[in-house]
Structure 1
Amino acid sequence: MKTITEAEYTEQWEASLHKHYLAYNVDGFDRVGRCQNQYSKDYFWEIQLRPGLMVEFIEDDYHRCLNKENHHDDSMTVLVSKFYLSGVHRVLTPGIKGVKEDYEEKAGYNYLFFLPDIKEIEISPANQRLQFLRIFLELDLFCAFSTDFDILPDELQLLKAGKSAPRFHQAVGKITAKMRDTLREILNCPYHGMMKRMYLESKTLELLVLQLNQWNDDRNSTLTRTLQREDIERLHYAREILSRNLDNPPSLMNLARQVGVNDYKLKMGFRQLFGTTVYGYLQACRMEHAKQLLNERSLSIAGVAHAVGYASQSRFCHAFKRQFGMTPSTYRRV
């Protein structure tokens, strides 16, 4: 079957809109459309939640197979999340490093990908209803949520590099019961106006959290199955090194080299064995040692800060208050 370009499909699709329905700003910030063309009968709902975050729901009834070439330009610095409720897409991406040349996205599964500057052929078979929800998250917004990226899979950690980050397409797993509940809440939002926007943003972020957690859990369970006794001993040794060097801890890479594991196994194994990240453990130890030194009263607050590895007293005070809900001086008085 002939493959049509994105421009050709868009021209056909826009021509069909003259006979059908398109509405902008239905509730102040979304867009709804219905149309019919030679391939399918389409419905879409787009919601711009905030700069850098958009969600859309697609429902297309295909009566004819469509092979369409898509182009993701190099300015596409977005992480894309998809949840398929029905139907199937086949995608051809020949010659793209880090991405299968031929893969499917299908009902009951969810996917996460970063694919700037590529051409792909998307195949939508006939005689099916294709339904999926798709989230677009700008990398700047994704990276703004936290600096604690070492709890994430490597593919997501590398997104800190922006559009130069390696491409990936991840089949995360089956849509869980919690994901289905959240999808249902998004598609049946009971609110309007400002409250609708707030509600949809919270549920969209919740859906992303469930997806990231599923990917993490899958990686962690795989790692647990592959951890040997010597790996566990090395991870305990890494914890001891951190405990003994609170004032001048090794970098993540140096710590991994010292104990004889790679940095991925160190990060994921640490989280699996001890229930926290490498940095989280170091931070907790620093704060507990700081409490001990404050109780002993032999050092000034600046001295305590230096003893637990802080060059800046103000940063130490901020970290202490975030951990314990009070400043070091207040803690010492209490």
Structure 2
Amino acid sequence: MSIILSSASWRELWDESWQNARNVDPLDSSDVIGEYPTQIAKGYKRNISLRNGIDLTLHRYTFHEDVITLDGQACEAGCLEWVFNLSSTFKFWDGSYVTDGQHYVAGMLMPGGESLDIARDPRIEVDIHLKPELFRTLAGEHFHLLPLELQRMVEGDESLPFSSLQTTTPAMHLVLEQILNCPYQGLTKQLYLESKSVEILALYLDSVMTQQKSKLAVKLQLDDIDRIHQAKDILLQHAEHPPSLLELARKVGMNDCTLKRGFRQVFGTTVFGYLHDYRMNRARKLLEAQTMSVQEVARAVGYASVSSFYAAFRKKFGMNPGTHLAANRRKGI
């Protein structure tokens, strides 16, 4: 049997828990534990704010039953979040599963929809939160060398709510265990956790940049990159009635295979994956403007079939476009 909750009910239960949160470290008022609502699980979340601008959330709890969270609305997250899952299995709104020993980055827009937490194993997890501008400061002049997916998330691209899943390396696992089992208090604890949080980010970057180098073994020429950007501009100019890949390649003077491969290298997605993300984000903004009906928005972003538009929007954002429009009207935005 499963426990089924709306996202609003879930938030209400946690609001009550955090009101009764207790301080863990007598020398650090920013280190607090909130007991997991007893109706759902046994255990806690521990929040620690560090002086370097990084916030940690440490998870240790076991669900009584599988937990299904329904009807979530998309919302702004306010920060980037590195999620390192050491033990448990859960399902994203898009149907993909995260298992133990995997990690990912959550972006600035948290999608709505249905999620599933599986009660089989205890949840042990370390989350690292930081503002995009802080991450850019940490990356410094090397920001442009980062994987394009990560660059887009840092720059606030809401079409990427989550990064691709990555495998946690043994070196990462060791540092995560050290964070979970930090033996210190007060200033010593702050210094220790600050250094460990930066270390885990460094290990993460080393892993993804190593993968990036292997993917970019075939280097594009500058002229190719210019043509690929030109192809992107043409694609967006004709987003309602886009050219085929072959037509687009001819317009910019490339063969279609080079354009297909190069577009993914430059933008981190396929030609028509990029177009789909553009259409969906434009549709969301048109709905939020509240000047058009769902049918009008569907036509405006190039969908002849309203049912196809509904399916694409729900898959992207975890809710129907009509629900999103109604929610914004209630909020008055």
Which of 210, 223, 237 lines up with 1:217 in the alignment?
Answer: 210
Structure 2 counterparts to residues 286-297 of structure 1, below 5 A: none
Contact 1:182-1:203 at 8 Å conserved across structures = yes
Flag the 1:223–1:196 CA change in 2: closer, same or farther, 3 A: same
Structure 2 counterparts to residues 142-181 of structure 1, below 5 A: 142-145=135-138, 146-159=140-153, 161=155, 163-164=156-157, 166-181=159-174
Contact 1:77-1:138 at 8 Å conserved across structures = yes
Letter in 2 for 1:132: E
- In the alignment, structure 1 residue 123 sits paired with structure 2 residue 124: no
1:200 corresponds to: 193
1:186-205 C-alpha deviation (Å, 9 max, x unpaired): 12223321121121011111
- In the alignment, structure 1 residue 108 sits paired with structure 2 residue 101: yes
Structure 2 counterparts to residues 65-80 of structure 1, below 5 A: 65-69=66-70, 70-71=72-73, 73-74=75-76, 76-80=77-81
1:250-303 C-alpha deviation (Å, 9 max, x unpaired): 9x859999xx885875899xxxxxxxxxxxxxxxxxxxxxxxxxxxxxxxxxxx
Flag the 1:72–1:46 CA change in 2: closer, same or farther, 3 A: farther
1:47 corresponds to: 48
Paired residue secondary structure (2:5): coil
Structure number with bigger Rg? 1
Paired residue secondary structure (1:43): strand
1:183 corresponds to: 176
Deviation at 1:8, TM superposition (A): 1.1
Flag the 1:35–1:118 CA change in 2: closer, same or farther, 3 A: closer
Flag the 1:151–1:164 CA change in 2: closer, same or farther, 3 A: closer
C-alpha distance in 2 between matches for 1:64 and 1:211: 32
C-alpha distance in 2 between matches for 1:47 and 1:104: 27
1:178-223 C-alpha deviation (Å, 9 max, x unpaired): 1011112212223321121121011111111111221221232233
Deviation at 1:41, TM superposition (A): 0.4
Letter in 2 for 1:122: S
C-alpha distance in 2 between matches for 1:175 and 1:82: 11
Deviation at 1:14, TM superposition (A): 5.4
1:63-86 C-alpha deviation (Å, 9 max, x unpaired): 212112444523x23111111111
Letter in 1 for 2:214: S
- Gapped runs of 5+ residues in structure 2? 231-253, 269-333
C-alpha distance in 1 between matches for 2:172 and 2:201: 9
C-alpha distance in 1 between matches for 2:229 and 2:17: 59
What RMSD, in angstroms, separates the aligned Cα atoms of the two structures? Answer: 3.6
Flag the 1:218–1:110 CA change in 2: closer, same or farther, 3 A: same
Structure 2 counterparts to residues 223-262 of structure 1, below 5 A: 223-224=216-217, 227=218, 253=226, 262=262
Flag the 1:24–1:196 CA change in 2: closer, same or farther, 3 A: closer
Letter in 1 for 2:215: T
1:106-138 C-alpha deviation (Å, 9 max, x unpaired): 101111121415213221123421111111111
Letter in 1 for 2:151: Q
Paired residue secondary structure (1:60): strand
Letter in 1 for 2:166: G
C-alpha distance in 2 between matches for 1:222 and 1:164: 22
C-alpha distance in 1 between matches for 2:51 and 2:21: 25
TM-score, scaled to structure 2: 0.60
Paired residue secondary structure (1:4): strand
Identity over aligned residues, as a percent? Answer: 23
Contact 2:66-2:116 at 8 Å conserved across structures = yes
C-alpha distance in 2 between matches for 1:139 and 1:126: 33
TM-score, scaled to structure 1: 0.60
